[in-house]
Amino acid sequence: MKFRTIARGLAAGVAALAFAVSAQAVDKTIKIGVIYDYTGPLAGGGSELQARGAKIMIDYINAQGGVEGYKIEPIYADAQSKPDVAINEAVRLIEQENVDMLLGFYSSAQCVPVAARVEQLKKFMWITTCISPAVLRDRNLKYVFRPQVHGGMFGTSSTDFLAAYSKEKLGIEPSDLKVAIIHEDGPYGSGVAAGNEAGSEQHGFDIVLKEGYATTAPDLSSLVTKLKRARPDVILHTGYNPDISLFLRQAQEQGLRFRALIGHGAGYGVPDKLYEALGDAANHIFNVDPVAIWLLDPASLAPGLGDVTEMVGREYAKAAGTPDMDLKRISAHVGMAASNAHVFFTDVLPRAIRDHGGISADALRAAALETDIPVGGTLLGFGVKFPEPGSAMDGQNTEAFPVVVQYVDRDIKVAWPKALQTIDPVLPLPDSSPYAK
């Protein structure tokens, strides 16, 4: 009888211990606030696609067992395409939902003020998307990191591309090439436009017009009129959507002609929307963005990354309801967020937990500063390394670079740099284009 009592006591103790261990495992979570624009004009301009890429990666990491024994608990928030909402949601997630960090952010107009607020609250912020240099330049932020390419790189990539092909394709010496720089007037457009201007001056282009406009403008016909008077050979445009579609429709209606148009991410990074709005008039438009991950040769990437790329495309096609989708036609936005989230979950976060004592903002910062991923080590093909504290661009990945793609019959072709080309760029616009000069 005494033996049975002891046995029952031991069994109860083992069960209690097992329950406690199990409960501890369940409680071992990392709460991450994920903020994108799920509604408003920025949603269809690329933010929803970025959000989908981030969610695919979070679900994948959890399916693989999480990170160092931790399950990722995402709390999704809608910035509603409004900077003030983005700030309020970031504060709510930190102060009420008690998230350990923030991830995401599509709009640079949101990133600039949100980064300052998150820094003030001493929380860690991992930016997958927004590109304005103003987010980080000369701000010496400790807890804000961006593996993404910044807008200045977008701006100079398009001008480097033009300089390489001006004489060969257009028959115009770079010093005689007339360019117009137009942009939405927020931090994103202004940052890219500054890169366009610097690159144009470096190559000796003739800048015949440089003008910003509000993304909410109901009519851009006056801008089109100014462009008709300026007669540029090439238009460098940075915008979201629907402002891009509005501009291009009115340009067609008013008979604006040019030899080439180069867009810079955001709305130009969603070719389906361009074709939906413009039909075949969207053919032969160029766009500067990080490369769509499905256009890279898996052999050029670190072992195993090609399989992750395939997984992202497969899961996106499934979520979109088109499982037989041609992966090479998926917008770069999806893979961009997936890749930048993958870097955090497979490189920064595990090292913070293993080597720096956990998931505090200081531990995550220390781990991020140690990141040293070589070229080919991310789904986007570029490497990741952050500058030593005290630089002009603290928190900015110095190893990131964009590509120039061209849309041809709804396919996405890499036009620049030459080492990654999948098309000989079509320059100038063919006679079939309503914009052909």
Compute the C-alpha angle 432/436/437, nearest 5°.
145
CB 259 within 8 A of CB 253: no
Q: How far apart are CA 373 and CA 189, in angstroms?
A: 29
What pLDDT does 27 receive? 64
Strands (E), 339-410: 372-373, 384-385, 403-408
Q: How many CB atoms lie under 10 A from the CB of residue 231? A: 14
What pLDDT does 17 receive? 43
What own/partner pairs with CB < 8 Å and gap ≥ 24 does 382-390 have?
A: 382/149, 382/290, 384/147, 384/343, 384/347, 386/145, 389/140, 389/142, 390/140
Q: How far apart are CA 158 and CA 161, in angstroms?
A: 5
Token representation of residue 276: 């939906």
Which domains, ranges and CATH numbers included, belong to the chain?
25-149+319-385 (3.40.50.2300), 152-289+402-420 (3.40.50.2300)
Q: What is the pTM of this model?
A: 0.81
- Could you say which DSSP state residue 149 is in? P
Q: Give the closest residue to 162 by CA, choosing from 208, 199, 192.
A: 199
* Integer angstrom CA distances of residue 93 from 99, 102, 150, 152, 309: 6, 8, 26, 31, 30
Residue whose pair of structure tokens reads 């993304």 in the numeric block: 215
What pLDDT does 97 receive? 98
227-251 per-position pLDDT tens digit? 999 999 999 999 998 899 999 999 9
What pLDDT does 124 receive? 98
What pLDDT does 159 receive? 97
Low-confidence residues of the chain, pLDDT below 70? 1-27
29-46 per-position pLDDT tens digit? 999 999 999 999 999 889
What pLDDT does 419 receive? 78
Q: How far apart are CA 262 and CA 265, in angstroms?
A: 10
145-161 per-position pLDDT tens digit? 999 999 888 889 999 99
Residue whose pair of structure tokens reads 């007339």 in the numeric block: 178
Length of the chain equals: 437
CB 116 within 8 A of CB 57: no
Cβ burial of 64 (10 Å; 0-12, 13-18, 19+) is: exposed
147 contact partners, CB below 8 Å, separation of at least 6: 126, 127, 128, 340, 343, 344, 378, 384, 397, 400
Token representation of residue 353: 């937990």
